[in-house]
Amino acid sequence: MKKLILNTVLLASLPMAAQAFAVTFKAGTYEASADGIHGPVIVKTTFSEHKINSVEVTKQSETEGIGTIAAAQLPEKILNAQSTRIDGVAGASITSKAIISAVNKCIEQAGAKPEQLIPVTAKKGAKEEKLSTDMVVVGGGGSGMAATIEGRMRGLKVVLVEKMPYIGGAAAISGGQVVAQGSKLQKQFGSTKDSPESMMKDFLANGHDLNDKRMLSLYANNVGKTIDWLHEKVGVKFIPNDLPYLAEYSHRRALEFQGGAKTMAQHLKKVISENGANVLYNTRVQKLLTDDKGDVIGVSAIDDNGVTYTITSKAVLLATGGFGNNKEMLSEPVKSALYYGPVSSTGDGHQMAMSLGAKTQLMQYGKRYPNGIEVSPGKAKSTIYANVGAFNCSGILVNVNGERFVNEKASNRHILDPM
């Protein structure tokens, strides 16, 4: 019986080894391209007779801090695996597919078939790390980045844990506008009659008067100070003298980031990299740690290399964003709507907190936009700037029959009504 098992193992391993050594390339350097999210991604790949020697993305115009991460990381992954049969970079699927597709074209030019290349897998050794800190921030979106920066400004030892290979979250792919009611810049740019009460009234109208008024008041009375901090202390730049008209608001209270959302997010990332915070990328928090009293005292996490982290902390801040990309947590009609947002919004923080008995509210609601195009099953790309064109250029919005159906300068809430 032992001999039979041994022979079976040997026979099972022979085809794989034989196939790996059977792949022969026409030695040389080849170039190919594939469409990314913002244009062609060009890749140069060099082969020797039996090996991929180098992979280089020579040209790309992908989203800074997201697609560019894939362009930086995937070539090394392909080289290490000696195959394109690898996982792409989370959150940058279109760029990842473009790079893999271009390398596959290079492989074919070198006289081989991509499916022949069996990935070389490195054994991951189990490793554990224990960290102690003043504050652990779970999630590196806008809120998590701001909290990390403020924590370091106060002299706290901060660990930021992010499950994606980059930080920025929804803030990095947003339209690049931010509410600035009560800020110095709003007044400086000419909007001087706004107030927290006016802002609350507008938000309650858009929220069908279902908003948590206590939290809305906290927001309306402090958002201006937050924008001042972001501008004066953190160095985020806004377009001068620019308060765009938005039908959602009775006053001009939105500011636009210079260079858009991606520039703002990259600036915050740079500040964090220079201020001494410990950032753990590709690391997913799996559990909130508690003491005998039930108080949260830290988190348990694991990274993509199998390293587990036990992080004890004086304070734990959940900044994991929303749950729009988790259908199981959504209610109708939001559940049936096309999703527009980061792939990382899967409700991790909500679920961990709820597992400890945290109370939730208003989770059956969500914001729906009246505009979008389905770019992949269930996923949308916003076309809200068609509305902006109507605002600025006296355009009109028509339905599929070519009929004007709504006031173009109405709020998204009103434009949504006839849909």
Find tokens 């069996």 and name the residue: 118
For 116-153, the pLDDT digits (tens) are 888 887 656 679 999 999 999 999 999 999 999 999 99
- Choose the final residue of a domain: 93, 116, 139: 116
Tell me what pLDDT residue 5 has. 32
* 106 and 77 housed in the same domain: yes
Tell me what pLDDT residue 381 has. 78
The total number of structural domains that make up the chain: 3
Residue 337 reports pLDDT greater than 60: yes
> With bands split at pLDDT 50, 70 and 90, how would you rate the model's confidence at 296?
very high
Residue 345 sits in a domain whose CATH number is 3.50.50.60
* 88 and 173 housed in the same domain: no
Find tokens 């995937």 and name the residue: 74
From the CA atom positions of the chain, what is the Rg in Å?
25
* 321 and 341 housed in the same domain: yes
Q: 214 is written with which tokens?
A: 């206590």
Residue 224 reports pLDDT greater than 70: yes
Residue 278 maps to a domain: yes
List the domain range (segments joined by +) for residue 253: 127-355
Residue 229 reports pLDDT greater than 70: yes
Q: C-alpha distances in angstroms, 317 versus 33, 158, 229, 249, 349? A: 43, 11, 20, 31, 10
For 11-68, the pLDDT digits (tens) are 233 333 333 346 889 999 999 999 998 899 999 999 998 899 999 999 999 888 888 8
Residue 368 maps to a domain: no
Mean predicted lDDT score pLDDT of the chain = 88
Tell me what pLDDT residue 7 has. 33
For 152-208, the pLDDT digits (tens) are 999 999 999 999 998 999 999 888 999 999 999 999 999 999 999 999 999 999 899
Residue 48 sits in a domain whose CATH number is 3.90.1010.20
* 273 and 309 housed in the same domain: yes
Side-chain-side CA neighbours of residue 354 (13 Å): 9
